[in-house]
Amino acid sequence: MLALTAFVVYRDYQSRPGLFETTSLKAVERGSDHITLEWNKVRNVEKYVLFYKQKGRQYKDWSRLALDNNEVTEEAAESTKKAKNKETVRVSADVEDLEEGTRYVFMVRPDSDERKGFLTGGKSFETRRTQKVKARDEIMKLSCSKPFKLSAKAETPVQIESEDPEIAEIDKDTGKVVIKRGGSVNLKLTAVEDKNYVSASKKVKLRIIESTPVNSGGAKAYTIYHVNSENCEVVKSISGAGSAVVPQSFGYTGDKYIVAYGMSGSQRIVTFDVKGDGKSVSVPGVALGHPNGFCYSDSTGLCYCVKGWSGRCVTYNPESGNYGVITLPVGCSGIAYDRKDNKFYTSSRTSMVSFSGDGNFSRVLSTGVVSHYGHTYTQDCGGHAGIMMRCLSGSNKHGINYVDLYDMRHGKYLGSISCDLSEVESAVCDKDGYMLLLCNTSDGVDYIWKTDINIEDIGEGLGE
């Protein structure tokens, strides 16, 4: 009788799965839509049945996943709970199609061919959340730009890596981008994973224009970049009103372009909506003369218009339609408002001057002259982020034109942009800092072009 009992116990031992250690159930990898589980292998098992549900859901909501031995991954792992150097086979299985940022309860039942094993107690693990790295797709700097901190936001800390350290490298101590030379390079931004979020990445293209700044007094012009219809886009087609059909200069309010039209005869101020086809026309209440220079000021809410080489300046209020006249302390051919630095600039063949942004035009800074070969006509100027954009055309006004870039903060000439877009009359920057050019084609339809030059990036790269 005793021998028979022993035989029955032996057979029961062989057919029953071994004991599943609930403490061995671990989540070794957690994504936003899956969790990879591991546990110690149990003897005498043909399949594992995995039960799971969202924590807090009812019993009927359990999902079931049956895993044959050939559907799970087995690997040896050093056991820290048992004797040192003793290896335990670990079993790994992926649970997929889960909801992100959600806690799930898991239980495992090891089964043999002959019978079901014991269901473990529940253990809960949470999926991570997704995230995005928020940063601009493209940044522009000059080769002379100072090291800068790349602006990027994510739910976790962001690491930056340069794909070509010979063009730009990352300072290990400060995390700043250090420019080495001109060219283009991708900067890889990686938001690191943590217990709550999965990793995310983004690439930012850094474009670097080769430039060697020089003191602007008597400096000789040199070209650092070229724009044409291949790297620019038309953002607005414009036309005049009445007999005023030649656009001379323009200002920018953020949602409107305000264009000064006229020669020696009929003159108009025409306002175009940045988006849509809205257009309004104002007949000047005072003579503009040849409206060579024009700008709109955020600080005063007024437009300012000057004719070539004159200290007389006409003001225009686009809200009320009223006109007035003030006198500037210098003669000029162009006038600009820098909304980033809250300053006014004036330009001519002989000087570039900056004023405070309050509209009183008290002199703040004067810089020198850049010498251009051959005959050039001084057109309007623009200003943004400490940079003056002085527009010039050659003897063939509808040939190659130029935009000189002046660092008004430091009195440096940065180089010129050559333009093959017909006659460049005026320049401003849009809300994202990109240079816009008003170009006169003399065919009845003229254009405002958006260039790929980001003046705000360039200005910020030069420091205060």
Longest dimension (CA), the chain: 127
What does the DSSP assignment read for 65-119?
Answer: EEEEGGGSEEEEEE-SSSSTT-EEEEEEEEE-SPPTT-EEEEEEEEE-SS-B-PP
Among the residue ranges 369-373, 376-380, 437-441, the one predicted with the least confidence is 369-373
**pLDDT of the residue at 12:** 59
Q: How many residues does the chain have?
A: 464
| Non-local CB neighbours of 384 within 8 Å, separated by 6+ positions | 338, 339, 340, 428, 429, 433, 435, 455, 456, 459
Dump pLDDT digits (tens) for 18-42.
888 889 999 999 999 999 999 998 8
Question: Residue 338 pLDDT > 80, yes or no?
Answer: yes
**pLDDT of the residue at 5:** 46
The reply to whether 2-126 and 138-209 are identical in fold is: yes
Alpha carbons 378 and 427: distance in angstroms, whole number: 13
Domain boundaries, the chain: 2-126, 138-209, 214-461
**pLDDT of the residue at 218:** 77
Average pLDDT of the residues in 248-263: 95
Tokens of 48: 């594992």
Residue 2: band (very low, low, confident or very high) from pLDDT cuts 50, 70, 90:
very low
At residue 9, φ and ψ (nearest 5 deg) are -60, -40
**pLDDT of the residue at 8:** 47
Alpha carbons 385 and 433: distance in angstroms, whole number: 8
Contact 166, 151 (CB under 8 A): no
Sheet holding 293-296, edge to edge: 293-296, 303-306, 310-316, 323-332
**pLDDT of the residue at 196:** 95
Dump pLDDT digits (tens) for 281-329.
999 999 998 899 999 999 999 999 999 888 999 999 999 999 999 999 9
Nearest CA among 331, 281, 283 for reference residue 307 = 331
At residue 262, φ and ψ (nearest 5 deg) are 140, 160
Question: Residue 403 pLDDT > 90, yes or no?
Answer: yes
3-class state of residue 120 by DSSP = coil
Pairing of strands 387-394, 401-407: antiparallel
Alpha carbons 303 and 337: distance in angstroms, whole number: 10
**pLDDT of the residue at 75:** 67
Task: List the Cα angle 112/114/119 in 5-degree steps.
Answer: 50
Alpha carbons 224 and 461: distance in angstroms, whole number: 16
Dump pLDDT digits (tens) for 181-229.
999 999 999 999 999 999 999 999 999 999 999 987 778 899 999 999 9
Question: Residue 57 pLDDT > 70, yes or no?
Answer: yes
Nearest CA among 232, 281, 236, 279 for reference residue 260 = 281
pTM: 0.85
- H or E segment and range at residue 305: strand 303-306
Among the residue ranges 16-25, 116-125, 425-434, the one predicted with the least confidence is 16-25
Q: What percent of the chain has pLDDT above 90? A: 71
Alpha carbons 93 and 139: distance in angstroms, whole number: 44
Alpha carbons 70 and 57: distance in angstroms, whole number: 31
3-class state of residue 423 by DSSP = strand
Among the residue ranges 56-65, 316-325, 454-463, the one predicted with the least confidence is 56-65
Among the residue ranges 217-221, 311-315, 389-393, 399-403, the one predicted with the least confidence is 217-221
Task: State the chain's mean pLDDT as an integer.
Answer: 90
Task: List the Cα angle 245/246/252 in 5-degree steps.
Answer: 105
**pLDDT of the residue at 309:** 81
The architecture (CATH level 2) of 2-126 comes to: Sandwich (2.60)
Q: What percent of the chain has pLDDT above 70? A: 93
**pLDDT of the residue at 211:** 96
Q: Which amino acid is at 136?
A: R
Question: Residue 4 pLDDT > 80, yes or no?
Answer: no
Fold of 138-209: Immunoglobulin-like (2.60.40)
Fold of 214-461: Neuraminidase (2.120.10)
Dump pLDDT digits (tens) for 85-96.
445 677 778 899
**pLDDT of the residue at 88:** 62
